[in-house]
Structure formats: structure tokens, C-alpha cells
Amino acid sequence: MMTSPILRSSARGGRRCARAVFLAAVLSARLAGAESGTVNLHLEPAAGGMLGAPQTTRGGYGLGIGAALKADVKVWGPIAIEAGGSATRFASSTMDRAGGLLSAGAGVRLRFIDDHHGYLAHWGSLDGHRGDLLGNVWFDATVQVVGTGPLVRFGWDAALGAELSLLDGIQVGPFIKYAQVMAQSSPGEEPGDAHILLGGLSVSLAIPDDGVHVPDSDDDGLADDLDACPSMKGARSQDSKRDGCPPDTDGDGLVDAEDACPNVTGVRSSDAKKNGCPKDTDADGIPDLQDACPQETGVASSKAGRNGCPSDRDGDGVSDLTDSCPDTPGPASANAKESGCPPQDSDGDGIADSKDACPNDLGPPSKDLAKNGCPDKSIKAFVTPAKIVITERVFFEVNKYSVLPRSWPLLDTVARLMKEHPEVLKVRIEGHTDDQGSDEHNDKLSERRAQSVMAFLVKAGVDVSRLAYQGFGKTRPLVKGDTDAVREINRRVEFVIVEREEARVPTAAARE
């Protein structure tokens, strides 16, 4: 009867191949250990079968089970040299005994995806496994000497697998293998190579040679050769420049434990309270990158170009700290008492006395220098940079706050001016009284009169958001004295511009 040319039972041949497998595994382990100090062992139990004739027909070989033991060491990049052996036994439906294969060989193993330490994440780690979950995708190929019964043949195999890093130093995952054993022609045998397909589970283990530990100076579970901060205990990171370093959330090079502003990129400072915080030259609490005045201590502001600058309530460019008139716009001056104050304007018409042809009489601006600032009966009101100036008084009932009809045309003029001047963003209506009566009475009366004027302007079509009112009672007299003439001057309503769009500052007057 003809037998399979590949598989034939023989105790003597099996013993020879077993010895060869053992010697190959020991030799490869010693070579690997000598090369790197770490041997990677692979145990690969598998099951499968023959792929075609004559093994499946004449030999009747079906399911086979076996295992391989291999060792490798990394030599360059993803490439490792590998050696080992395997034993596989196949059941037969036509023969009285099962057939077996014993092989020993050497080849290469490629690791396409690998965690930072290959198979050895950190031997004996107390902090738990620190390798990536997907530890390895690998391919290997070996050439072999194969024992089949009393015969010794040549063969080769190739396998592809993937492994997960479940524990320190251990990776486990499935693989699939194809093997081919070359046939030899002998009398009475049917020629034909054996083609075998196997699938199984790969278990890979890293064993340090002679008990040598992987150096880890900071004991953070990451070997010094891969630790970007080997002297500081840190955490794993996908960024190789930060792997093993303490956390640095804002990426400014200062670890969070030393960073006073761990969530904002900053600079190093000898002051622990400022270390790692954004630079703030003037120490006003506003980083230089956001500070419009980084050399001057200032305050936060929502106005463009004013954040971090000294407070300037009247917006005249002179900080409140040096502004002698912080609520009234005026130019800077070498005279501290005048700096930030408007030029002297005796009649309050918004025209400085030096340019006012009638400095003691209220009047509108004029291109005719001889008439500039002089009274003009045809003009009821005009706009200056600081105020809407009215040339007449607003009349109310005595000790009451109702506006008398005689003043309605004047207030209509003020309303029209505000509509014509959208650059005037906000006007504060101020009420003032003379010195007669109690403080409480005058405060309340002046406030109600200012409120009454505001109501008139809103009714006349002025947006309420552009208006505000305030009563000052008798606290801000224009002229000192207790005569009837003085008191008449001090009883007044003023329209102070508190906010305006600087891009447009025309001055206009409204005639009758």
C-alpha cells in the first residue's frame, strides 16, 4: 500500500527532530540574550489541517493540533531575528496511527505596531501595566528542517498575528499560519508537497537576562532610555518629547505642580505666585498680550485700546491719577492743577476764553472771530465737545418740576440736535437749584426737574438709551452769592455729553 510521502510515524525520527527543536530554541535564546539582554519568548498553540492531496486523500489526514516555541531579539527598527521549533500531530482516517511533524528553524519577525517597550513594558512594575493596549501586529517567516517519520525534509512557514498588552511583560493575541513541507521522491511513494493551514493563540513573554532590571530612575514605569524626563516621575504621553514627564497642561514647559497658572501659557518667574503665568510687566493683573498699556498700571476695560490702561473717566487721554478734572475732558498740561481740565471758559459756552470774543456772555461758535462765542438771538442751542449748550433757561413752575410751555420750543431744539448728531451717544441731563430751601428739598426738586426734561425729549423722539438724568441740588453753583441775579443763574438745566463717538465730532448750532 502506498503511504504519504510527508507524514509517517517513527519514534526514532521523532526523537531526532525533538532534539533539534530543543537545541534550536536554546541556541536562539542564548543568542538573543547576548545581543540585547532581553529574550522574547513566543508560545504558539494552534490547530488546523492539510489543504490538499495526496495528504488528505491517500493519507486521510484531517485535524491537526500542535504548538511552536520561538525566541527573538530585536536587531533594527521593526526587525527581529527569530529561531525555534514546533510539533504538530494529525489524525488519519486511513492509517492505523496518527502522523506527526517536528521542525526546527530560524527566520525573521517584523513588528508593525509596537508599544514603547516591545514586550517588556516594565518588569515587576508596582504601578500596573503601562504599555499601549494594542501591543503588537506582527509577521514572521522561517525556513525549517522538518522531521516526518524517519525522513528529514526542508520546509518553510509564514504567520501573521496581533497581540494585546494585557500585563507587564506579557502580550496575547490570535494568529494564522501557512506552512509547506517539501516532498522527496522515494520508491513506492506518491510525490507531493504538504500544504498546511493553522490558526491559534500567540502568548509572548519578555524575560530579562540574568535578572537585570530595565533602568527606571524615577520609578514611573517608563525605562530611562524612553523617558523624556528620567529624573522626574511622570505620566505616559503620545508625544515622545513629553513621555514620562510630569503633566504640563498649558504646554509652557513648566510642570503643573510648579505652575501658578497651569491652564494658561506663561513664563518662568522667581516668584512662585507668578511662575508659569503670562507676563505682566506693570503688575496690574492684565497680561501684556491683552494690556494696551503694558508699562502702566491700569484697570480692566471693555473699550478698545483701553484695557489695562490707567482709568480715564472723561476719555481725554489724561489718566484719572493725573487729571485735575477727571470727569471733564481737557488737554494735558505741565501745570498739574490744569492738566486734564478744559481751558477756562467763564461763560460756559464750550469756547475757551482765549478764543471767545465774548468770554463773559454765552454764545455759539462762529467762523467770524469777532463774533466767536458771542450771543446770537437766532440760536437757541448748539453742540460742543462736552455739552449741548442752551442759550435760554428751561422754565418750570415755582417749586415744581413741570416744564412750562414757553420752554417747549427750546427742548424741541435740543431733541432735534440729538437726532442730527448720532455721534453723541449719551447725554446726562443735570438739574441744579439755587441756595434757598433745604438740601433734601433741593436735591429732590433738581432730580425731578431733570427727569421731567428727559421725559420730554423721549416723547420728542430721542432714544431713551441715549439719555440719563441726575439732580445736584445746590451743590454746584455757577456763581457764588445770594442775590436774585446770582440765584437765577444757578437755577438751571445742563446737557452734559458723557459718551460720544470720537470719529465724528462736528459742532453745530440750531437756529430758531
* Backbone dihedral angles phi then psi of residue 22, each to the nearest 5 degrees: -60, -45
- Tell me the residue ranges of DSSP E strands in 228-367: none
What is the Cβ-side half-sphere exposure of residue 469, based on CA atoms within 13 angstroms? 22
Which DSSP helix (H) or strand (E) runs through 39? strand 38-50
Q: Is residue 369, in this structure, part of any structural domain at all?
A: no
Q: Is residue 228, in this structure, part of any structural domain at all?
A: no
Handedness of CA 319, 325, 328, 329 (dihedral sign): negative
- Cα 175 to Cα 43: distance, rounded to the nearest angstrom: 11
Domain boundary among 172, 193, 211: 211
pTM of the model: 0.39
Neighbours of 450 (CB within 10 A): 25
**pLDDT, tens digit (0-9, with 9 covering 90-100), for 386-419:** 899 998 999 999 889 999 999 999 999 999 999 9
Domain boundary among 211, 245, 269: 211
Amino acid residing at 341: C
- Cα 66 to Cα 319: distance, rounded to the nearest angstrom: 90
- Count structural domains, the chain: 2
Q: Is residue 238, in this structure, part of any structural domain at all?
A: no
For the domain that residue 507 is a member of, what is the CATH number? 3.30.1330.60
- Tell me the residue ranges of DSSP E strands in 77-133: 79-92, 99-114
Q: Is residue 267, in this structure, part of any structural domain at all?
A: no
Q: Is residue 2, in this structure, part of any structural domain at all?
A: no
Q: What is the DSSP string of 451-504?
A: HHHHHHHHHTT--GGGEEEEE-TTSS-SS---SHHHHHHHSEEEEEEEEE-TT-
Q: Is residue 144, in this structure, part of any structural domain at all?
A: yes
Q: What is the 3-state secondary structure (H, E, C) of 223-244?
A: CHHHCCCCCCCCECCCCCCCCC
- Cα 133 to Cα 169: distance, rounded to the nearest angstrom: 12
* Backbone dihedral angles phi then psi of residue 99, each to the nearest 5 degrees: -100, 155
* Backbone dihedral angles phi then psi of residue 405, each to the nearest 5 degrees: -55, -25
Q: Which domain holds residue 29?
A: 11-211
Domain boundary among 211, 233, 253: 211
Contact yes or no for 418/427 (Cβ under 8 A): yes
For the domain that residue 63 is a member of, what is the CATH number? 2.40.160.20
pLDDT tens series, the chain, 512 aa: 344 444 544 344 445 544 544 454 444 444 433 334 467 889 999 999 888 776 666 666 778 899 999 998 888 777 889 999 999 988 877 666 667 889 999 999 988 765 444 444 333 333 444 445 666 788 999 999 998 777 888 999 999 998 887 766 678 899 999 999 887 655 545 557 888 999 999 998 876 554 445 677 888 877 888 888 888 888 888 888 888 888 888 888 788 888 888 888 888 888 888 888 888 888 888 888 888 888 888 888 877 777 888 888 777 878 888 888 888 788 888 888 878 887 777 777 778 888 888 988 878 888 888 888 888 888 889 998 889 999 899 999 988 999 999 999 999 999 999 999 999 999 999 999 999 999 999 999 999 999 999 999 999 999 999 999 999 999 999 888 889 889 988 999 999 999 988 644 444 455 55
Q: Is residue 328, in this structure, part of any structural domain at all?
A: no
Q: Is residue 219, in this structure, part of any structural domain at all?
A: no
